[in-house]
Structure 1
């Protein structure tokens, strides 16, 4: 049956192809790590978020296997029915301890965690204030909540203050990424907290790309900036630096009980497999004790930035494992990514609408699993595949 004009899907798809913004998936066939295999060819992998190199750590893998043998694969139900296992409960307790919060609550994904938190805390009489470069899940959560939705200029406390000064909402929630996923820079949390406090607003930080990487023991951006006690709502994911899957929210007893009672994505979703929670317990312990992983990352980041700058690439203001090379033109970013792939190096080209128009980039991500020789190989490939800036 022919589609009606209202459902003309092909036109929109064709337009995305014309703009060089069409997305495709890679079928990989290798454990997560410094290398991957695509269509039978092995590549150095610089586009994963496995920042600490834990996704294929033998102790983490063994913890998952052992728990699967002990308790099976599926959880069987939502947390509030009968799906909340001893592994889930132990992980929540350890996450609360790591972040210095009274309690933590597991979610199956970061997207669900953000939808759950914002939906549980805000309604039509309220207002939410978000950084313009916040992750899509935070934008969608704010819009879906029904609260008045405002966006302030990126990392600009003065812009936030102007927005808050005009607000007469019942509740005011300020939300920012801790580390921005496409730029790699960190939010100025102390300045944002000062503004929020002055206007009786709460702060929420999505630290998906900071947890595990920043702060003593890797416990995140607020800890690294010494403002953890000023952030009532802390959210982070488990599928990046911890190398597993899922997300959590940490905060007060009242916050977590509110989410249990009112966060619909938590209430109505099957709990993550308990074996994944068991694996995450192991990776969390490694994250907190093996400080050399973060020290190695710092060295690799400095090595890459020196080499890329020497070749004339435009870097962004990032001291984290996310190191974007700003290209600008969508087609040029795709072309550079393709040239690197020809040389056995995998780096994703990030284009609008994920990033603003005119800011297409290659998003290089570094891992403690990489060796300095791997970074040398990436820099050599970039030297052989000059960007449109040359």
Structure 2
């Protein structure tokens, strides 16, 4: 029977405890939400709204849609103004706005190293990626014409070996500032040093670093690292939607010519641009929220240590508890839901096999009582 593979693939996912499904949220606040399925309220420890800025946003009347792609009539004054604001604070010459972080990451890589640009430079280029990089970064490299080389997670010795063996004229090292599934940080200084030693460039996806780390929450840039290509997303600490690519004017001009995702997509809604600009300014001014966030992270880690709960070594908002099999992670997830705590079981292929986990995200909106309840529930559920 034609397309029989669809049902076979779904059944295989069920058997392996890997089938994914969506949950309908009926109502939500900074640290709690109601589900439509049972009307029950849950403590939310699966949110990327790290600073608790997702509520109380006020927008004035503006266009809901940009009405066209940016290169036709979809590039409005609000787009230009927000790009300029981002460049001012991050210290870059130019920027492009995208509707999603996935599109930003993936499209930048594949357009930089595509023969469709009329150049054969892609064939003399190599991309060096951390093995735990986000799927959007991996997909971009796989769709490019450059050689794709992976190095062991945060292993600078392994990266050095890979760089030394490469004869490519154009070398791009790609890493995340904070890794989305492990919560650990990239060794920024060492990445910068290796980049310089091998005449390469560095690209950072700062989705989980921006807003949290560095001076004024500016992520890797606030920590003193300025990669040639920086991607910041608005859907995490900014609690908004969209992303920006920041780079030199020549790189952004190149993307305007050859980035098919940008050229052939309706530009980011002016309504979302206005929201993103407001949220960006709130993030810069969120020193008290960052202080509260790290106080909550410290409390969580101390309580877990006291109860011998094996949390991975992370100092950021992402605090994973690895349980091994997908079955174990799903079982723990269900037990926590019974106690009014919402955590997501992260399973392969999102994480490597035998590393299925509960990905706990601590936010500034959580109270000490919330965190104590979480840790107590973790002890009896894992």
User: Is the structural similarity TM-score above 0.5?
Assistant: yes
Q: Show the counterpart of 1:97.
A: 88
1:189/1:222 contact within 8 Å kept:
no
2:216/2:222 contact within 8 Å kept:
no
Matched, 1:33 2:24: no
- How many Å separate the matches in 2 of 1:299 and 1:72? 40
Q: Show the counterpart of 1:349.
A: 345
Give the paired residue count: 372
1:115/1:265 contact within 8 Å kept:
no
Q: Show the counterpart of 1:384.
A: 380
Measured against aligned partners, the alpha-carbon deviations of 1:232-260 in whole angstroms (never above 9, x if no partner) come to 11111001110110010112111221212
CA shift in 2, pair 1:32/1:139, >3 Å = farther
Which structure 2 residue ranges, 5 or more long, are not aligned? 114-121
- How many Å separate the matches in 1 of 2:182 and 2:15? 25
Matched, 1:80 2:106: no
Matched, 1:293 2:298: no
Matched, 1:245 2:241: yes
State the SS of the aligned residue for 1:314: coil
- How many Å separate the matches in 2 of 1:24 and 1:290? 34
Q: Show the counterpart of 1:254.
A: 250
1:35/1:45 contact within 8 Å kept:
yes
Quick check: 193-202 or 137-146, which moved more?
193-202
1:176/1:187 contact within 8 Å kept:
yes
Counterparts in 2 of 1:277-316, with a 5 A limit?
277-316=273-312
1:313/1:326 contact within 8 Å kept:
no
Q: Show the counterpart of 2:321.
A: 325
1:314/1:327 contact within 8 Å kept:
no
Q: Show the counterpart of 1:191.
A: 190
2:76/2:270 contact within 8 Å kept:
yes
Counterparts in 2 of 1:1-390, with a 5 A limit?
2-3=1-2, 7-31=4-28, 33-38=30-35, 39=37, 40-56=39-55, 58=56, 60=57, 62-63=58-59, 66=60, 69=61, 71-122=62-113, 123-224=122-223, 226-228=224-226, 231-385=227-381, 387=382
State the SS of the aligned residue for 1:124: helix
- How many Å separate the matches in 2 of 1:369 and 1:91? 27
Which structure 1 residue ranges, 5 or more long, are not aligned? none
- How many Å separate the matches in 2 of 1:97 and 1:373? 40
TM-score, normalised relative to structure 1: 0.93
- How many Å separate the matches in 1 of 2:259 and 2:63? 27
List, as ranges, runs of 4+ consecutive aligned residues in structure 1 with deviation greater than 6 Å.
none
- How many Å separate the matches in 1 of 2:78 and 2:41? 36
State the SS of the aligned residue for 1:248: strand
Measured against aligned partners, the alpha-carbon deviations of 1:163-185 in whole angstroms (never above 9, x if no partner) come to 11111123111100111000000
State the SS of the aligned residue for 1:29: strand
State the SS of the aligned residue for 1:315: coil
- How many Å separate the matches in 1 of 2:310 and 2:217? 28
Measured against aligned partners, the alpha-carbon deviations of 1:279-305 in whole angstroms (never above 9, x if no partner) come to 111111111112011111100001111
State the SS of the aligned residue for 2:19: coil
TM-score, normalised relative to structure 2: 0.95
Q: Show the counterpart of 2:118.
A: none
Q: State the Cα distance separating 1:32 from its structure 2 match.
A: 5.1
1:314/1:326 contact within 8 Å kept:
yes
State the SS of the aligned residue for 2:123: coil
